[in-house]
């Protein structure tokens, strides 16, 4: 049956994607743990604000604001690095108050950055991967195929 084939294909593609996200997240966290350093960012001069509005019937619209800016910092090796990053609300407020904002970077690859205290959570991706793996296992090995 064609629809069953596409369902299985869809589940396999999702499983591959979540597996990839889990593995890359694990290695990213490990790189920050092993090679991570902290640097003070320069004050941002300008930022771009994007407003996303989602409408639904009978409910008030959902408004989400995303701030993004070019962030610059000096590494321990005196290299100036600039990266384009999204600014969470708490970081944006620190910049607006002209407070010190720190960023964490990987010393072997300074373009790889994240805000201090931020961590990539791989548990959710891994859990979805496991659920999909069980579905794939049972659908491929115990699913009945019709002969059309």
Looking at residue 137, what is its pLDDT?
82
Looking at residue 144, what is its pLDDT?
64
> 115 — alpha (psi -120 to 50), left (phi > 0) or beta?
beta
Does 147 map to a domain?
no
Looking at residue 86, what is its pLDDT?
94
Does 12 map to a domain?
yes
Distances (CA, A) of 86 to 89, 96, 140: 10, 15, 41
Looking at residue 146, what is its pLDDT?
53
Does 146 map to a domain?
no
Encoded tokens for 64: 């989400």
Does 118 map to a domain?
yes
Which class for 10: exposed (0-12), middle (13-18), buried (19 or more C-beta within 10 A)? exposed
Task: Give residue-wise pLDDT tens across range 30-40.
Answer: 999 999 999 99
Higher pLDDT, 9 or 115: 115
State the average pLDDT over residues 63-80: 93
Task: Give residue-wise pLDDT tens across range 3-34.
Answer: 878 888 888 888 899 999 999 999 999 999 99
Domain that holds residue 95: 2-141
State the average pLDDT over residues 64-69: 90
Higher pLDDT, 124 or 34: 34
Residue 99, pLDDT > 90, answer: yes
Does 67 map to a domain?
yes
Looking at residue 147, what is its pLDDT?
54
Does 148 map to a domain?
no
Per-residue DSSP letters for 131-142?
A: HHHHHHHHHHHT
The count of structural domains within the chain is 1
């Amino acid at each position: 049956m064609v629809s069953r084939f596409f369902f299985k294909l869809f589940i396999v593609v999702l499983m591959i994607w979540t597996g990839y996200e889990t593995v890359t997240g694990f290695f990213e966290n490990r790189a920050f743990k092993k090679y991570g350093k902290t640097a003070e960012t320069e004050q941002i001069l300008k930022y771009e604000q994007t407003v996303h509005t989602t409408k639904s019937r009978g409910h008030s619209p959902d408004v989400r604001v995303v701030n993004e800016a070019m962030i610059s910092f000096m590494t321990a090796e005196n290299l100036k690095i600039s990266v384009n990053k999204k600014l969470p609300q708490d970081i944006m407020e620190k910049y607006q108050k002209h407070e010190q904002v720190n960023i964490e970077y990987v010393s072997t690859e300074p373009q790889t950055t994240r805000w201090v205290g931020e961590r990539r959570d791989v548990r959710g991706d891994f859990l979805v991967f496991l659920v999909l793996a069980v579905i794939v296992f049972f659908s491929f090995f115990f699913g009945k195929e019709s002969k059309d």
